[in-house]
Amino acid sequence: MAAVQARMESTLERFLPAPQIVPERLHRAMRYTVLGAGKRVRPLLAFAAGELVEADPARVEVVAAAVEMIHAYSLVHDDLPCMDNDVLRRGKPTCHVEFDEATALLVGDALQSLAFQILAEHAVADGPEAQIEMLNVLAVASGSRGMAGGQAIDLACVGKPLSLPELEFMHVHKTGALIRAAVVLGARCGRGLDAKQLGRLEHYAKTVGLAFQVVDDVLDCDASTATLGKTAGKDAAQEKPTYVSILGLARARALAEELRIQAHAALSPLGATAVRLHDLADFIVLRKF
Amino acid sequence: MAAVQARMESTLERFLPAPQIVPERLHRAMRYTVLGAGKRVRPLLAFAAGELVEADPARVEVVAAAVEMIHAYSLVHDDLPCMDNDVLRRGKPTCHVEFDEATALLVGDALQSLAFQILAEHAVADGPEAQIEMLNVLAVASGSRGMAGGQAIDLACVGKPLSLPELEFMHVHKTGALIRAAVVLGARCGRGLDAKQLGRLEHYAKTVGLAFQVVDDVLDCDASTATLGKTAGKDAAQEKPTYVSILGLARARALAEELRIQAHAALSPLGATAVRLHDLADFIVLRKF
Protein backbone atom coordinates (compact mmCIF):
# COMPACT_ATOMS: atom_id res chain seq x y z
CA MET A 1 0.00 0.00 0.00
CA ALA A 2 2.78 2.43 0.87
CA ALA A 3 4.41 1.68 -2.48
CA VAL A 4 1.22 2.55 -4.38
CA GLN A 5 0.75 5.70 -2.31
CA ALA A 6 4.33 6.82 -3.02
CA ARG A 7 3.94 6.03 -6.72
CA MET A 8 0.70 8.05 -6.84
CA GLU A 9 2.37 11.01 -5.22
CA SER A 10 5.00 11.14 -7.94
CA THR A 11 2.45 10.46 -10.70
CA LEU A 12 0.17 13.26 -9.51
CA GLU A 13 3.17 15.54 -9.13
CA ARG A 14 4.10 14.86 -12.74
CA PHE A 15 0.59 15.46 -14.11
CA LEU A 16 0.00 18.71 -12.21
CA PRO A 17 1.26 21.90 -13.87
CA ALA A 18 4.49 23.20 -12.31
CA PRO A 19 4.01 26.03 -9.79
CA GLN A 20 6.04 28.46 -11.90
CA ILE A 21 3.71 28.14 -14.91
CA VAL A 22 1.22 31.02 -15.32
CA PRO A 23 -1.22 31.37 -13.57
CA GLU A 24 1.15 30.56 -10.71
CA ARG A 25 -1.28 31.02 -7.84
CA LEU A 26 -3.83 28.69 -9.38
CA HIS A 27 -1.20 26.04 -10.06
CA ARG A 28 0.19 26.37 -6.53
CA ALA A 29 -3.32 25.94 -5.15
CA MET A 30 -3.96 22.88 -7.34
CA ARG A 31 -0.77 21.27 -6.05
CA TYR A 32 -1.58 22.24 -2.46
CA THR A 33 -4.92 20.50 -2.82
CA VAL A 34 -3.81 17.29 -4.47
CA LEU A 35 -0.30 16.56 -3.18
CA GLY A 36 1.09 15.41 0.14
CA ALA A 37 -2.02 14.08 1.79
CA GLY A 38 -4.98 11.79 1.44
CA LYS A 39 -5.30 8.06 1.92
CA ARG A 40 -5.49 7.53 -1.85
CA VAL A 41 -8.28 4.99 -1.38
CA ARG A 42 -9.45 5.30 -4.98
CA PRO A 43 -5.96 4.86 -6.49
CA LEU A 44 -5.42 1.88 -4.18
CA LEU A 45 -8.64 0.35 -5.48
CA ALA A 46 -7.64 1.03 -9.10
CA PHE A 47 -4.25 -0.65 -8.59
CA ALA A 48 -5.84 -3.61 -6.79
CA ALA A 49 -8.36 -4.05 -9.61
CA GLY A 50 -5.49 -3.74 -12.08
CA GLU A 51 -3.68 -6.66 -10.40
CA LEU A 52 -6.74 -8.79 -10.97
CA VAL A 53 -6.28 -8.43 -14.72
CA GLU A 54 -2.48 -8.19 -14.88
CA ALA A 55 -2.71 -4.58 -16.02
CA ASP A 56 0.38 -2.54 -16.83
CA PRO A 57 0.92 -0.26 -13.79
CA ALA A 58 1.89 2.54 -16.20
CA ARG A 59 -1.71 2.47 -17.40
CA VAL A 60 -3.25 2.09 -13.96
CA GLU A 61 -1.42 5.11 -12.56
CA VAL A 62 -3.04 7.28 -15.25
CA VAL A 63 -6.60 6.24 -14.48
CA ALA A 64 -5.86 6.37 -10.75
CA ALA A 65 -4.56 9.93 -11.09
CA ALA A 66 -7.59 10.98 -13.12
CA VAL A 67 -9.98 9.57 -10.52
CA GLU A 68 -8.00 11.11 -7.66
CA MET A 69 -8.14 14.53 -9.35
CA ILE A 70 -11.92 14.29 -9.65
CA HIS A 71 -12.04 13.29 -5.98
CA ALA A 72 -9.74 16.15 -4.93
CA TYR A 73 -11.81 18.69 -6.88
CA SER A 74 -14.99 17.45 -5.19
CA LEU A 75 -13.44 17.93 -1.75
CA VAL A 76 -12.37 21.51 -2.56
CA HIS A 77 -15.84 22.45 -3.78
CA ASP A 78 -17.52 20.53 -0.93
CA ASP A 79 -15.51 22.51 1.64
CA LEU A 80 -16.55 25.92 0.22
CA PRO A 81 -18.66 28.17 2.47
CA CYS A 82 -21.76 27.68 0.29
CA MET A 83 -21.50 23.89 0.77
CA ASP A 84 -20.07 22.39 4.00
CA ASN A 85 -18.06 25.49 4.94
CA ASP A 86 -15.17 23.53 6.37
CA VAL A 87 -11.76 24.86 7.34
CA LEU A 88 -9.75 21.68 7.82
CA ARG A 89 -9.04 18.89 5.33
CA ARG A 90 -6.34 16.22 5.38
CA GLY A 91 -4.81 17.95 8.39
CA LYS A 92 -4.34 21.26 6.56
CA PRO A 93 -6.43 24.43 6.10
CA THR A 94 -8.91 23.87 3.27
CA CYS A 95 -8.08 25.39 -0.11
CA HIS A 96 -10.35 28.43 0.23
CA VAL A 97 -8.89 29.17 3.69
CA GLU A 98 -5.27 28.82 2.55
CA PHE A 99 -5.90 30.72 -0.71
CA ASP A 100 -9.33 32.30 -1.25
CA GLU A 101 -12.80 31.24 -2.34
CA ALA A 102 -12.49 32.28 -5.96
CA THR A 103 -9.19 30.42 -6.32
CA ALA A 104 -10.69 27.32 -4.68
CA LEU A 105 -13.59 27.43 -7.12
CA LEU A 106 -11.15 27.55 -10.06
CA VAL A 107 -8.93 24.85 -8.54
CA GLY A 108 -11.88 22.47 -8.59
CA ASP A 109 -12.88 23.47 -12.11
CA ALA A 110 -9.35 23.09 -13.45
CA LEU A 111 -8.74 19.76 -11.69
CA GLN A 112 -11.83 18.35 -13.34
CA SER A 113 -10.57 19.41 -16.80
CA LEU A 114 -7.14 18.00 -15.99
CA ALA A 115 -8.61 14.60 -15.10
CA PHE A 116 -10.14 14.29 -18.55
CA GLN A 117 -7.03 15.71 -20.18
CA ILE A 118 -4.66 13.11 -18.75
CA LEU A 119 -7.09 10.32 -19.56
CA ALA A 120 -7.21 11.58 -23.16
CA GLU A 121 -3.45 12.10 -23.45
CA HIS A 122 -2.24 8.67 -22.33
CA ALA A 123 -2.97 5.28 -23.83
CA VAL A 124 -4.67 3.35 -21.02
CA ALA A 125 -6.36 0.62 -23.04
CA ASP A 126 -5.53 -1.72 -25.91
CA GLY A 127 -7.22 0.56 -28.40
CA PRO A 128 -8.67 4.06 -28.71
CA GLU A 129 -12.27 2.82 -28.66
CA ALA A 130 -11.78 1.23 -25.25
CA GLN A 131 -10.11 4.43 -24.09
CA ILE A 132 -13.10 6.54 -25.14
CA GLU A 133 -15.34 4.19 -23.16
CA MET A 134 -13.12 4.76 -20.13
CA LEU A 135 -13.38 8.53 -20.58
CA ASN A 136 -17.12 8.07 -20.64
CA VAL A 137 -17.10 5.98 -17.45
CA LEU A 138 -15.28 8.79 -15.67
CA ALA A 139 -17.58 11.49 -17.07
CA VAL A 140 -20.75 9.66 -16.06
CA ALA A 141 -19.38 8.85 -12.59
CA SER A 142 -18.51 12.53 -12.05
CA GLY A 143 -21.67 14.13 -13.37
CA SER A 144 -25.24 14.82 -12.36
CA ARG A 145 -26.14 11.13 -12.34
CA GLY A 146 -23.00 10.30 -10.37
CA MET A 147 -20.95 12.21 -7.84
CA ALA A 148 -22.23 15.75 -8.48
CA GLY A 149 -25.78 14.38 -8.41
CA GLY A 150 -25.04 12.72 -5.08
CA GLN A 151 -23.93 16.07 -3.67
CA ALA A 152 -27.19 17.59 -4.85
CA ILE A 153 -29.20 14.81 -3.19
CA ASP A 154 -27.15 15.40 -0.04
CA LEU A 155 -28.05 19.12 -0.10
CA ALA A 156 -31.72 18.30 -0.50
CA CYS A 157 -31.59 15.97 2.52
CA VAL A 158 -30.16 18.30 5.17
CA GLY A 159 -32.52 18.54 8.13
CA LYS A 160 -34.91 15.92 6.69
CA PRO A 161 -35.66 12.53 8.19
CA LEU A 162 -34.32 9.91 5.79
CA SER A 163 -34.96 6.20 5.49
CA LEU A 164 -32.06 3.78 5.21
CA PRO A 165 -32.73 3.12 1.49
CA GLU A 166 -32.82 6.87 0.82
CA LEU A 167 -29.51 7.33 2.62
CA GLU A 168 -28.02 4.47 0.64
CA PHE A 169 -29.32 5.98 -2.62
CA MET A 170 -27.54 9.24 -1.79
CA HIS A 171 -24.23 7.55 -1.00
CA VAL A 172 -24.34 5.25 -4.01
CA HIS A 173 -24.12 8.50 -5.98
CA LYS A 174 -22.07 10.78 -3.76
CA THR A 175 -19.14 8.50 -2.96
CA GLY A 176 -20.12 5.20 -4.59
CA ALA A 177 -20.03 6.35 -8.20
CA LEU A 178 -16.38 7.43 -8.13
CA ILE A 179 -15.26 4.42 -6.08
CA ARG A 180 -16.96 2.20 -8.64
CA ALA A 181 -15.21 4.12 -11.42
CA ALA A 182 -11.83 3.58 -9.73
CA VAL A 183 -12.40 -0.19 -9.60
CA VAL A 184 -13.89 -0.45 -13.10
CA LEU A 185 -11.23 1.73 -14.73
CA GLY A 186 -8.42 -0.15 -12.98
CA ALA A 187 -9.87 -3.41 -14.26
CA ARG A 188 -10.23 -2.04 -17.79
CA CYS A 189 -6.50 -1.39 -17.99
CA GLY A 190 -5.78 -5.11 -18.35
CA ARG A 191 -7.12 -8.25 -20.03
CA GLY A 192 -10.91 -8.27 -20.36
CA LEU A 193 -13.14 -9.79 -17.71
CA ASP A 194 -16.25 -11.76 -18.66
CA ALA A 195 -19.69 -10.44 -17.76
CA LYS A 196 -19.93 -12.62 -14.65
CA GLN A 197 -16.55 -11.50 -13.33
CA LEU A 198 -17.38 -7.88 -14.08
CA GLY A 199 -20.66 -8.29 -12.21
CA ARG A 200 -18.79 -9.56 -9.15
CA LEU A 201 -16.35 -6.70 -9.36
CA GLU A 202 -19.18 -4.17 -9.59
CA HIS A 203 -20.86 -5.75 -6.57
CA TYR A 204 -17.58 -5.54 -4.67
CA ALA A 205 -17.21 -1.88 -5.66
CA LYS A 206 -20.73 -1.02 -4.53
CA THR A 207 -20.23 -2.80 -1.24
CA VAL A 208 -16.89 -1.20 -0.34
CA GLY A 209 -18.26 2.17 -1.48
CA LEU A 210 -21.10 1.90 1.02
CA ALA A 211 -18.81 0.48 3.69
CA PHE A 212 -16.50 3.44 3.19
CA GLN A 213 -19.37 5.82 3.89
CA VAL A 214 -20.70 3.89 6.90
CA VAL A 215 -17.21 3.96 8.42
CA ASP A 216 -16.89 7.67 7.61
CA ASP A 217 -20.10 8.30 9.53
CA VAL A 218 -18.92 6.19 12.48
CA LEU A 219 -15.56 7.96 12.59
CA ASP A 220 -17.19 11.38 12.29
CA CYS A 221 -18.93 10.81 15.61
CA ASP A 222 -16.33 8.53 17.17
CA ALA A 223 -12.87 9.91 16.34
CA SER A 224 -11.18 13.21 17.06
CA THR A 225 -10.47 16.03 14.64
CA ALA A 226 -6.74 15.49 15.19
CA THR A 227 -6.98 11.82 14.15
CA LEU A 228 -9.21 12.49 11.14
CA GLY A 229 -7.36 15.51 9.82
CA LYS A 230 -10.78 17.03 9.16
CA THR A 231 -13.45 18.47 11.43
CA ALA A 232 -15.04 15.69 13.51
CA GLY A 233 -18.66 15.75 14.60
CA LYS A 234 -19.79 17.99 11.77
CA ASP A 235 -22.53 15.67 10.50
CA ALA A 236 -24.43 15.99 13.78
CA ALA A 237 -23.70 19.72 13.96
CA GLN A 238 -25.10 20.19 10.44
CA GLU A 239 -28.05 17.87 11.12
CA LYS A 240 -27.08 15.64 8.25
CA PRO A 241 -28.69 12.23 8.10
CA THR A 242 -25.99 9.56 8.55
CA TYR A 243 -25.81 5.84 9.17
CA VAL A 244 -25.18 6.66 12.82
CA SER A 245 -28.13 9.03 13.12
CA ILE A 246 -30.45 6.45 11.55
CA LEU A 247 -29.04 3.20 12.97
CA GLY A 248 -27.15 4.27 16.08
CA LEU A 249 -23.43 3.69 16.56
CA ALA A 250 -23.52 -0.04 17.37
CA ARG A 251 -25.72 -1.02 14.43
CA ALA A 252 -23.74 1.21 12.05
CA ARG A 253 -20.56 -0.60 13.14
CA ALA A 254 -22.28 -3.95 12.59
CA LEU A 255 -23.39 -2.84 9.11
CA ALA A 256 -19.81 -1.93 8.17
CA GLU A 257 -18.69 -5.39 9.29
CA GLU A 258 -21.46 -7.02 7.31
CA LEU A 259 -20.47 -5.07 4.18
CA ARG A 260 -16.86 -6.15 4.66
CA ILE A 261 -17.96 -9.79 4.64
CA GLN A 262 -20.14 -9.19 1.56
CA ALA A 263 -17.22 -7.58 -0.26
CA HIS A 264 -15.02 -10.57 0.51
CA ALA A 265 -17.75 -12.93 -0.67
CA ALA A 266 -18.09 -11.08 -3.98
CA LEU A 267 -14.39 -11.60 -4.60
CA SER A 268 -13.97 -15.22 -3.57
CA PRO A 269 -14.70 -16.80 -7.00
CA LEU A 270 -12.15 -14.47 -8.61
CA GLY A 271 -9.21 -16.34 -7.15
CA ALA A 272 -5.86 -15.37 -5.69
CA THR A 273 -5.30 -12.29 -7.86
CA ALA A 274 -8.12 -10.60 -5.94
CA VAL A 275 -6.11 -10.61 -2.72
CA ARG A 276 -5.39 -6.88 -2.81
CA LEU A 277 -9.04 -6.02 -3.32
CA HIS A 278 -9.81 -8.35 -0.40
CA ASP A 279 -7.28 -6.57 1.82
CA LEU A 280 -8.59 -3.16 0.78
CA ALA A 281 -12.06 -4.04 2.04
CA ASP A 282 -10.39 -4.68 5.40
CA PHE A 283 -8.45 -1.42 5.18
CA ILE A 284 -11.59 0.56 4.36
CA VAL A 285 -13.66 -0.91 7.20
CA LEU A 286 -10.99 -1.26 9.88
CA ARG A 287 -9.31 2.15 9.37
CA LYS A 288 -9.18 4.54 12.27
CA PHE A 289 -9.10 7.79 10.26
CA MET B 1 -27.83 31.86 -38.00
CA ALA B 2 -31.35 31.50 -36.65
CA ALA B 3 -31.45 27.95 -38.02
CA VAL B 4 -28.24 27.02 -36.19
CA GLN B 5 -29.48 28.65 -33.00
CA ALA B 6 -32.76 26.72 -33.17
CA ARG B 7 -30.95 23.48 -33.93
CA MET B 8 -28.63 24.05 -30.95
CA GLU B 9 -31.57 24.64 -28.65
CA SER B 10 -33.03 21.26 -29.50
CA THR B 11 -29.61 19.55 -29.39
CA LEU B 12 -28.85 20.96 -25.95
CA GLU B 13 -32.34 20.06 -24.80
CA ARG B 14 -31.75 16.47 -25.88
CA PHE B 15 -28.35 16.17 -24.18
CA LEU B 16 -29.45 17.68 -20.86
CA PRO B 17 -30.99 15.26 -18.34
CA ALA B 18 -34.79 15.57 -18.15
CA PRO B 19 -36.07 17.67 -15.23
CA GLN B 20 -37.93 14.72 -13.71
CA ILE B 21 -34.74 12.66 -13.33
CA VAL B 22 -33.26 12.62 -9.80
CA PRO B 23 -31.78 14.94 -8.56
CA GLU B 24 -34.60 17.02 -10.03
CA ARG B 25 -33.55 20.39 -8.66
CA LEU B 26 -30.03 20.06 -10.07
CA HIS B 27 -31.34 19.01 -13.46
CA ARG B 28 -33.87 21.85 -13.48
CA ALA B 29 -31.07 24.28 -12.67
CA MET B 30 -28.83 22.87 -15.40
CA ARG B 31 -31.62 23.33 -17.93
CA TYR B 32 -32.41 26.82 -16.62
CA THR B 33 -28.78 27.74 -17.16
CA VAL B 34 -28.23 26.33 -20.63
CA LEU B 35 -31.56 26.56 -22.43
CA GLY B 36 -33.56 29.42 -23.85
CA ALA B 37 -30.94 32.12 -24.00
CA GLY B 38 -27.50 33.04 -25.19
CA LYS B 39 -26.25 34.14 -28.57
CA ARG B 40 -24.62 30.73 -29.13
CA VAL B 41 -21.54 32.39 -30.58
CA ARG B 42 -19.36 29.31 -30.02
CA PRO B 43 -21.83 26.90 -31.67
CA LEU B 44 -22.19 29.34 -34.58
CA LEU B 45 -18.41 29.33 -34.98
CA ALA B 46 -18.28 25.53 -34.81
CA PHE B 47 -20.96 25.22 -37.51
CA ALA B 48 -19.25 27.82 -39.68
CA ALA B 49 -15.93 26.00 -39.37
CA GLY B 50 -17.74 22.75 -40.13
CA GLU B 51 -19.04 24.20 -43.41
CA LEU B 52 -15.47 24.92 -44.41
CA VAL B 53 -14.71 21.19 -44.36
CA GLU B 54 -18.12 19.85 -45.44
CA ALA B 55 -18.65 18.31 -42.01
CA ASP B 56 -21.75 16.30 -41.15
CA PRO B 57 -23.95 18.68 -39.09
CA ALA B 58 -24.86 15.71 -36.87
CA ARG B 59 -21.22 15.69 -35.74
CA VAL B 60 -20.90 19.44 -35.46
CA GLU B 61 -23.91 19.76 -33.20
CA VAL B 62 -22.24 17.41 -30.70
CA VAL B 63 -19.00 19.38 -30.45
CA ALA B 64 -20.96 22.65 -30.45
CA ALA B 65 -23.09 21.40 -27.56
CA ALA B 66 -20.02 20.27 -25.60
CA VAL B 67 -18.35 23.65 -26.04
CA GLU B 68 -21.54 25.50 -25.14
CA MET B 69 -21.90 23.48 -21.94
CA ILE B 70 -18.35 24.38 -20.90
CA HIS B 71 -19.17 28.02 -21.67
CA ALA B 72 -22.44 27.88 -19.72
CA TYR B 73 -20.74 26.30 -16.69
CA SER B 74 -18.09 29.04 -16.73
CA LEU B 75 -20.78 31.74 -16.67
CA VAL B 76 -22.55 30.13 -13.70
CA HIS B 77 -19.33 29.92 -11.69
CA ASP B 78 -18.21 33.38 -12.83
CA ASP B 79 -21.48 34.89 -11.55
CA LEU B 80 -21.11 33.39 -8.04
CA PRO B 81 -20.67 35.81 -5.12
CA CYS B 82 -17.02 34.79 -4.61
CA MET B 83 -16.27 35.71 -8.26
CA ASP B 84 -18.16 38.52 -10.03
CA ASN B 85 -21.22 38.34 -7.76
CA ASP B 86 -23.67 39.08 -10.54
CA VAL B 87 -27.44 38.75 -10.38
CA LEU B 88 -28.42 39.07 -14.04
CA ARG B 89 -27.39 36.93 -17.00
CA ARG B 90 -28.98 36.53 -20.41
CA GLY B 91 -31.90 38.64 -19.19
CA LYS B 92 -32.71 36.30 -16.28
CA PRO B 93 -31.66 36.02 -12.63
CA THR B 94 -28.31 34.21 -12.42
CA CYS B 95 -28.38 30.55 -11.40
CA HIS B 96 -27.39 31.11 -7.76
CA VAL B 97 -30.07 33.81 -7.43
CA GLU B 98 -32.82 31.70 -9.01
CA PHE B 99 -31.76 28.54 -7.13
CA ASP B 100 -28.99 28.84 -4.52
CA GLU B 101 -25.20 29.04 -4.38
CA ALA B 102 -24.58 25.38 -3.64
CA THR B 103 -26.82 24.32 -6.52
CA ALA B 104 -25.09 26.77 -8.87
CA LEU B 105 -21.72 25.35 -7.88
CA LEU B 106 -22.94 21.82 -8.69
CA VAL B 107 -24.61 22.98 -11.93
CA GLY B 108 -21.23 24.17 -13.17
CA ASP B 109 -19.46 21.02 -12.04
CA ALA B 110 -22.04 18.74 -13.63
CA LEU B 111 -22.16 20.69 -16.90
CA GLN B 112 -18.42 20.29 -17.25
CA SER B 113 -18.70 16.49 -16.80
CA LEU B 114 -21.59 16.42 -19.25
CA ALA B 115 -19.56 18.20 -21.92
CA PHE B 116 -16.93 15.46 -21.83
CA GLN B 117 -19.58 12.77 -21.59
CA ILE B 118 -21.39 13.78 -24.78
CA LEU B 119 -18.10 14.14 -26.63
CA ALA B 120 -17.16 10.60 -25.54
CA GLU B 121 -20.58 9.13 -26.32
CA HIS B 122 -20.98 10.30 -29.91
CA ALA B 123 -18.80 9.62 -32.91
CA VAL B 124 -17.64 13.06 -34.05
CA ALA B 125 -14.63 12.06 -36.14
CA ASP B 126 -13.69 9.46 -38.72
CA GLY B 127 -12.02 7.31 -36.08
CA PRO B 128 -11.70 6.95 -32.31
CA GLU B 129 -8.14 8.28 -32.26
CA ALA B 130 -9.24 11.56 -33.81
CA GLN B 131 -12.10 11.67 -31.32
CA ILE B 132 -9.71 11.30 -28.36
CA GLU B 133 -7.67 14.18 -29.76
CA MET B 134 -10.84 16.28 -29.85
CA LEU B 135 -11.62 15.39 -26.23
CA ASN B 136 -8.12 16.53 -25.42
CA VAL B 137 -8.57 19.83 -27.28
CA LEU B 138 -11.66 20.55 -25.17
CA ALA B 139 -9.96 19.54 -21.90
CA VAL B 140 -6.91 21.73 -22.52
CA ALA B 141 -9.05 24.68 -23.62
CA SER B 142 -11.14 24.40 -20.43
CA GLY B 143 -8.37 23.89 -17.90
CA SER B 144 -5.72 25.83 -16.03
CA ARG B 145 -3.82 26.66 -19.20
CA GLY B 146 -7.01 27.67 -20.95
CA MET B 147 -10.29 29.15 -19.75
CA ALA B 148 -10.01 28.41 -16.01
CA GLY B 149 -6.46 29.77 -16.10
CA GLY B 150 -7.74 32.92 -17.79
CA GLN B 151 -10.22 33.42 -14.97
CA ALA B 152 -7.37 33.08 -12.47
CA ILE B 153 -5.30 35.66 -14.37
CA ASP B 154 -8.36 37.92 -14.39
CA LEU B 155 -8.68 37.60 -10.59
CA ALA B 156 -5.03 38.45 -10.14
CA CYS B 157 -5.44 41.60 -12.27
CA VAL B 158 -8.33 43.32 -10.49
CA GLY B 159 -7.29 46.79 -9.37
CA LYS B 160 -3.88 46.54 -11.06
CA PRO B 161 -2.70 48.67 -13.96
CA LEU B 162 -2.28 46.39 -16.96
CA SER B 163 -0.46 46.87 -20.24
CA LEU B 164 -2.22 46.08 -23.51
CA PRO B 165 -0.16 42.87 -24.04
CA GLU B 166 -1.00 41.71 -20.49
CA LEU B 167 -4.69 42.32 -21.10
CA GLU B 168 -4.47 40.42 -24.38
CA PHE B 169 -2.68 37.53 -22.63
CA MET B 170 -5.54 37.30 -20.14
CA HIS B 171 -8.23 37.27 -22.80
CA VAL B 172 -6.42 34.80 -25.04
CA HIS B 173 -6.94 32.39 -22.12
CA LYS B 174 -10.21 33.54 -20.58
CA THR B 175 -12.39 33.72 -23.68
CA GLY B 176 -9.97 32.99 -26.52
CA ALA B 177 -9.19 29.38 -25.59
CA LEU B 178 -12.78 28.18 -25.80
CA ILE B 179 -13.55 30.21 -28.94
CA ARG B 180 -10.51 28.64 -30.56
CA ALA B 181 -11.72 25.20 -29.43
CA ALA B 182 -15.13 25.85 -31.02
CA VAL B 183 -13.51 26.68 -34.38
CA VAL B 184 -10.93 23.88 -34.26
CA LEU B 185 -13.41 21.23 -33.15
CA GLY B 186 -15.92 22.28 -35.80
CA ALA B 187 -13.21 21.99 -38.43
CA ARG B 188 -12.13 18.58 -37.14
CA CYS B 189 -15.58 17.16 -37.80
CA GLY B 190 -14.95 17.12 -41.54
CA ARG B 191 -12.23 16.44 -44.10
CA GLY B 192 -8.75 17.32 -42.87
CA LEU B 193 -7.18 20.70 -43.47
CA ASP B 194 -3.51 21.03 -44.32
CA ALA B 195 -1.15 22.76 -41.89
CA LYS B 196 -1.32 26.06 -43.75
CA GLN B 197 -5.12 26.10 -43.78
CA LEU B 198 -5.23 25.13 -40.11
CA GLY B 199 -2.81 27.94 -39.31
CA ARG B 200 -5.12 30.42 -41.05
CA LEU B 201 -8.10 29.07 -39.17
CA GLU B 202 -6.27 29.34 -35.84
CA HIS B 203 -5.32 32.93 -36.66
CA TYR B 204 -8.93 33.69 -37.49
CA ALA B 205 -10.04 32.11 -34.20
CA LYS B 206 -7.55 34.13 -32.17
CA THR B 207 -8.57 37.32 -33.91
CA VAL B 208 -12.32 36.91 -33.49
CA GLY B 209 -11.75 35.78 -29.90
CA LEU B 210 -9.99 39.04 -29.10
CA ALA B 211 -12.50 41.05 -31.13
CA PHE B 212 -15.29 39.45 -29.12
CA GLN B 213 -13.70 40.65 -25.90
CA VAL B 214 -12.94 44.16 -27.16
CA VAL B 215 -16.58 44.52 -28.22
CA ASP B 216 -17.72 43.11 -24.85
CA ASP B 217 -15.71 45.81 -23.12
CA VAL B 218 -17.10 48.52 -25.39
CA LEU B 219 -20.67 47.34 -24.85
CA ASP B 220 -20.18 47.07 -21.08
CA CYS B 221 -19.58 50.80 -20.91
CA ASP B 222 -21.71 51.80 -23.88
CA ALA B 223 -24.95 49.78 -23.78
CA SER B 224 -27.70 49.45 -21.22
CA THR B 225 -28.39 46.55 -18.88
CA ALA B 226 -31.71 45.99 -20.63
CA THR B 227 -30.05 45.63 -24.03
CA LEU B 228 -27.25 43.40 -22.75
CA GLY B 229 -29.36 41.13 -20.57
CA LYS B 230 -26.55 41.36 -18.01
CA THR B 231 -25.40 44.11 -15.68
CA ALA B 232 -23.83 46.94 -17.70
CA GLY B 233 -20.99 49.08 -16.39
CA LYS B 234 -19.70 46.45 -14.00
CA ASP B 235 -16.13 46.42 -15.32
CA ALA B 236 -15.63 50.02 -14.28
CA ALA B 237 -17.48 49.43 -10.99
CA GLN B 238 -15.19 46.51 -10.19
CA GLU B 239 -12.08 48.38 -11.38
CA LYS B 240 -11.32 45.69 -13.91
CA PRO B 241 -8.79 46.53 -16.58
CA THR B 242 -10.52 46.52 -19.97
CA TYR B 243 -9.75 47.56 -23.52
CA VAL B 244 -11.79 50.68 -22.84
CA SER B 245 -9.98 51.53 -19.61
CA ILE B 246 -6.60 51.14 -21.31
CA LEU B 247 -7.34 52.50 -24.79
CA GLY B 248 -10.39 54.70 -24.30
CA LEU B 249 -13.70 54.11 -26.08
CA ALA B 250 -12.75 55.44 -29.52
CA ARG B 251 -9.50 53.48 -29.82
CA ALA B 252 -11.16 50.32 -28.48
CA ARG B 253 -13.79 50.64 -31.22
CA ALA B 254 -11.05 51.13 -33.81
CA LEU B 255 -9.23 48.04 -32.53
CA ALA B 256 -12.39 45.93 -32.90
CA GLU B 257 -12.71 47.14 -36.48
CA GLU B 258 -9.05 46.35 -37.18
CA LEU B 259 -9.47 42.83 -35.77
CA ARG B 260 -12.52 42.32 -37.99
CA ILE B 261 -10.44 43.17 -41.05
CA GLN B 262 -7.64 40.86 -39.86
CA ALA B 263 -10.11 38.02 -39.38
CA HIS B 264 -11.42 38.50 -42.92
CA ALA B 265 -7.88 38.56 -44.27
CA ALA B 266 -7.01 35.29 -42.53
CA LEU B 267 -9.95 33.65 -44.28
CA SER B 268 -9.57 35.02 -47.78
CA PRO B 269 -7.28 32.23 -49.14
CA LEU B 270 -9.72 29.60 -47.86
CA GLY B 271 -12.26 30.37 -50.56
CA ALA B 272 -16.02 30.57 -50.74
CA THR B 273 -16.73 27.90 -48.10
CA ALA B 274 -15.40 30.32 -45.49
CA VAL B 275 -18.27 32.73 -46.06
CA ARG B 276 -20.02 31.90 -42.79
CA LEU B 277 -16.85 32.41 -40.77
CA HIS B 278 -16.44 35.73 -42.60
CA ASP B 279 -19.98 36.77 -41.70
CA LEU B 280 -19.51 35.70 -38.08
CA ALA B 281 -16.57 38.08 -37.70
CA ASP B 282 -19.00 40.81 -38.75
CA PHE B 283 -21.65 39.53 -36.34
CA ILE B 284 -19.19 39.46 -33.44
CA VAL B 285 -17.86 42.97 -34.04
CA LEU B 286 -21.03 44.72 -35.16
CA ARG B 287 -23.38 43.23 -32.53
CA LYS B 288 -25.20 45.59 -30.21
CA PHE B 289 -25.60 43.17 -27.26
Identify the band that residue A202 occupies on the pLDDT scale cut at 50, 70 and 90. Answer: very high
Residues A153 and A173: beta-carbon distance below 8 Å: yes
pLDDT attached to residue A159 = 81
- Residue B2: burial class (beta carbons within 10 Å; 0-12, 13-18, 19+): exposed
Nearest to B114 by CA among B228, B211, B33, B196: B33
Under DSSP, the state recorded for A145 is T
| Residue B93, SS3 per DSSP | strand
pLDDT attached to residue B38 = 85
Q: What is the mean pLDDT of residues B228-244?
A: 79
Q: From the list B102, B144, B151, which residue is nearest A82 (CB)?
A: B102
Q: Which residue has the higher pLDDT, A191 or B179?
A: B179
Domain range list for chain B: 2-286
Name the CATH superfamily for A2-202. Farnesyl Diphosphate Synthase (1.10.600.10)
Asked if the model's pLDDT at residue B239 lies above 80, the reply is no
pLDDT attached to residue B206 = 96
Q: Which residue has the higher pLDDT, B259 or A230?
A: B259
**How high is the ipTM of this complex?**
0.95
Would you list the DSSP string of B129-166?
A: HHHHHHHHHHHHHHSTTTHHHHHHHHHHHTTS---HHH
pLDDT attached to residue B196 = 94
pLDDT attached to residue B133 = 97
d(CA A204, CA A219): 22
Q: Which of residues 106-125 of B touch A (CB under 8 A)?
A: 106, 108-110, 112-114, 116-117, 120-121
- Residue A43: burial class (beta carbons within 10 Å; 0-12, 13-18, 19+): buried
pLDDT attached to residue A231 = 77
Q: From the list B109, B140, B151, which residue is nearest A148 (CB)?
A: B109
Q: Are strands A92-93 and B88-89 parallel, antiparallel or unpaired?
A: unpaired
φ, ψ of residue A93 to 5 degrees: the values are -55, 140
Identify the band that residue A131 occupies on the pLDDT scale cut at 50, 70 and 90. Answer: very high
- What is the CATH T-level fold of the domain B2-286, as seen in this structure? Farnesyl Diphosphate Synthase (1.10.600)
Which among A144, A173, A178 is the top mutation candidate for probing chain B, defined by the most B β-carbons within 10 Å of its own β-carbon? A144
Residue type, position A174, single letter: K
φ, ψ of residue B93 to 5 degrees: the values are -60, 140
Helix B177-188 vs helix B147-157: angle between axes, to the nearest 10 degrees? Answer: 170
Residues A243 and A217: beta-carbon distance below 8 Å: yes
| A121 interaction partners in chain B (CB closer than 8 Å) | 136
Asked if the model's pLDDT at residue A223 lies above 80, the reply is no
Q: Which of residues 57-76 of A touch B (CB under 8 A)?
A: 73-74
Asked if the model's pLDDT at residue A50 lies above 80, the reply is yes
Q: What is the pTM of this model?
A: 0.96
